Amino acid sequence: MKSFSVTSFLLAGLMMFAASPASAEIIGEDAAACAAGHGPAIQVNILGLKDRTGEIWLELYPATESDFLRPDQDLVAEGKVFRRTRSKPPASGAVSICVRVPKPGRFTLLLRHNRVGKDKFSVFSDGAGVPSNRPMGRSRPKFDQAIIGVGPTVTVANIRIQYLRGLRGFAPLDS
C-alpha cells in the first residue's frame, strides 16, 4: 500500500481543481453539495463522452480490493460504504457529476456511461472510467486505478470515459 504525504495530497487536489471546467453543469442527486462546496464529496469532471444518450453513473466503493465492484446489495447488507448517483447528461456543454462521501479518506470510484439503459454493463455500448485515466484494455478496471483520496471538502477529479475500441479493448475515444 502506498503512503502519501499531506503536501502531495494537497498539491494533487489543487491541480485537479485547477484543471476543472469552470462552467460545467453538475448533475446527480448530490449536485447541490458540490455546487455549494459542502463536503466531503467528490466532483468528477467528465471528459470524452461519446454522446449524450442514457445516464451517467458514479459509484463509490470501499478502498479494499475485495470490495471494489462487488454488488451494491452485498456491500450495503454488510454495512460497507457504497453510493451511486445517476443522472441524464445535459444536451450540451461540459458536465460534472457529484457524489457525497461519508467521511474523508480513501475510496474507489467507477464512472459509467450507461448508454443502453440497463442495470447490467453492456461491453459493446457502455463506457467506463476511473480516476487514474489509464487505458483499461480488455479487462475490467483494476483496483489500484480506481483509488481516490477524499478530503473534508469537495475533491475534484477529471475522469476520461473509455469505450470499447476493437481488439485493443477499452480506451478513450481520442487516443
Structural domain boundaries in the chain: 6-172
Q: Are 109 and 42 in contact (CB under 8 A)?
A: yes
Round to whole Å and give the CA distance between 109 and 105: 13
The per-residue pLDDT string of the chain (175 residues; one tens digit each, 9 = 90 and over) reads 444 444 334 334 434 444 445 568 999 999 999 999 999 999 999 999 999 999 999 999 999 999 999 999 999 999 999 999 999 999 999 999 999 999 999 999 999 999 988 888 989 999 999 999 999 998 889 999 999 999 999 999 999 999 998 888 998 987 5
Q: Are 171 and 165 in contact (CB under 8 A)?
A: yes
Chain centroid to CA 154 = 14
Round to whole Å and give the CA distance between 86 and 26: 11
- pTM of the predicted structure, to 2 decimals: 0.84
